[in-house]
A and B are shown apart, each in its own frame.
Chain A
């Protein structure tokens, strides 16, 4: 294969990574933007989504598409419920103190990981893709399902953007993000907004995980990479900015795909991390972020 088609393949793979990464990072960014906390257990919600997808898909026999659709609906809902439980029992009680939240979510990370290891086991397990066709390019064939992943991610990103900018719920969330006290004074139930945002953030990660699980198997340690990549995306894109998150996910996803194909995935991650260092040196608030008030 020549260099051109090779680069094309690398870019396509990069786009899949970028699509899933954008969804996961958007969840993290939303939680940070509105609640001003960092959820270190975000990657574990991703892992939980994938593991539950395997479980739900195994419940129904028959066509893989049906099982996958059930997983796509139910798995994020269950993960959202788990996130809601964590938020109500732990985060609310420490009053969203930024440092205590980080420590507490690290605790959640260990607990969720251990429960997954105990009940799901140390094996990596696949979920069958709902559709099974190959797109044949002149140089190579490519799984059509990956195109579905990109499409669904774009739809979900647009939906999130629509909810945030065009609906009453989005307005309430943005008001809370802008100024918590004033929002409270205008009778916005800040407490409920926090709970909802935390659950939605986890659900976005879980959806991304269900989408990726037919390509990448479900495993109890799979949460760390998406977490670190999401941190990178959110820092480069600017905390709390949707556009920044999507653009940064594209940059990181594509470069990760291309460097992984030509060099090694480990090198790609090292370079991404160092890129963040440089962004922070030049623009501490991220490429698209506004300076904090």
Chain B
């Protein structure tokens, strides 16, 4: 999409000259603060929806590190989300882990899976990369059905009992309470956003962007593109898994739907809508798309039509998404 043509954004203040008032950091913290304050004014329904959106937005932020900043379009991120989901869910039900340990187990599952998968799929590039990631995700989905004895396949399983209380640093959090859920989701999103921001403003982030713009050139300049791409894939996969693990623990449901192809397409759609290669874009995209589907499904069951039309309209008329367009229109400093 915008990947080949746009020049590298001259966004960064040179290290050492960064002032106390860091405009970029301020904007992102302000966005998080708005999300924090929103919980005091929203109705119960939107409160719950927004908690869900923030977990899914963390998934989109993770996806964007690979797609938006490294230029690798994966059609298989559902497998990383599902790795976190099942990693946490199965650790809780089969190994009777507590909530915090199950969360870490989910992240660890994503870390291992993305490293292994990355080492295979990065042998391919371009169109083959998309197809191969899609097929690995499908193999993952089929496995979640095949091992139905543990996963209960399509039907899924519900987490209940002790696992609904998280113990951390001597404190207990009741995960069934909407307020606790909202703030944990927000904390997860905040960590993902800040990690992403730090990454794209670091030297490694600039190498990733260089690979996105022209991989041959980056290689010629002496960068090990394979290792950097693998790094981006592992970070992206691990953040996606963290979102999956949080989803399982906060909303207490684990099912094969989350491993299906649909959950590989959705983060792509969210990122495209919000803005490819922007830190806040995925959050905005997830929020808008979630409500678009929510509102259309009130009037008609044809929500897939909304998703399909949105995808086509975006590539035809709006390839840079909302924040990407804003950046072109003058806010050049947005990372």
- A residues within 8 Å of B by Cβ? 32, 38, 90, 93-94, 97-100, 102-104, 106-111, 113-115, 117-118, 224, 228, 231-232, 235, 264, 266-267, 269-270, 273-274, 276-277, 280-281, 284
* Chain B residues with CB below 8 A from A235, complex form: 128, 131-132
A94-B316, A97-B1 given; A110·B305 CB < 8 A: yes
Among A90, A102, A267, A281, max chain B CB count under 10 A is at A102
B146 touches A103 (CB 8 A): no
Chain B interface size range: 35 or more
Closest to A38 in B: B127
For the complex, give the distance between the alpha carbons of A93 and B319 in Å.
12
* The stretch of B86-94, B100-108, B135-143, B186-194 that contacts the partner chain: B135-143
23 contacts between A and B (CB under 8 A): A38-B127, A97-B1, A99-B130, A100-B1, A102-B75, A103-B311, A104-B315, A107-B307, A107-B311, A110-B304, A110-B305, A110-B311, A111-B308, A231-B131, A231-B134, A235-B128, A235-B131, A267-B146, A269-B142, A270-B146, A276-B132, A276-B135, A284-B124
- Interface assignment of B123: CB less than 8 Å from any CB of chain A: yes
Among B131, B143, B146, max chain A CB count under 10 A is at B131
Give which listed residue, B127, B138, B265, B268, contacts A98 with CB less than 8 A.
B127
A98-B126, A266-B146, A270-B146 given; A277·B136 CB < 8 A: yes
Instruction: Write the B218-245 contact mask toward A (1 if CB under 8 angstroms, else 0).
Output: 0000000000000000000000000000
B261 touches A38 (CB 8 A): no
A104 touches B312 (CB 8 A): yes
For the complex, give the distance between the alpha carbons of A281 and B123 in Å.
7
* Chain A residues with CB below 8 A from B311, complex form: 103-104, 106-107, 110
For the complex, give the distance between the alpha carbons of A38 and B268 in Å.
17
For the complex, give the distance between the alpha carbons of A115 and B131 in Å.
25
Task: Count A-B contacts at CB 8 Å.
Answer: 111
* Chain A residues with CB below 8 A from B126, complex form: 98
* Chain B residues with CB below 8 A from A118, complex form: 302
Closest to B132 in A: A280
Give which listed residue, B261, B315, B316, contacts A224 with CB less than 8 A.
B261
B315 touches A94 (CB 8 A): yes
A107 touches B308 (CB 8 A): yes
For the complex, give the distance between the alpha carbons of A94 and B313 in Å.
11
* Chain A residues with CB below 8 A from B310, complex form: 107
* Chain B residues with CB below 8 A from A264, complex form: 146
- Interface assignment of B314: CB less than 8 Å from any CB of chain A: yes
* Chain B residues with CB below 8 A from A90, complex form: 312, 316
A270-B139, A273-B135 given; A114·B272 CB < 8 A: no
A273 touches B138 (CB 8 A): yes
* Chain B residues with CB below 8 A from A117, complex form: 302, 304
For the complex, give the distance between the alpha carbons of A213 and B131 in Å.
27
Instruction: Write the B1-14 contact mask toward A (1 if CB under 8 angstroms, else 0).
Output: 10100000000000
* Chain B residues with CB below 8 A from A232, complex form: 135
For the complex, give the distance between the alpha carbons of A182 and B266 in Å.
39
A100-B319, A231-B135, A235-B128 given; A108·B312 CB < 8 A: yes
Chain B 112-161 residues near chain A, CB threshold 8 A: 120, 123-124, 126-128, 130-132, 134-136, 138-139, 142-143, 145-146
A103 touches B268 (CB 8 A): yes
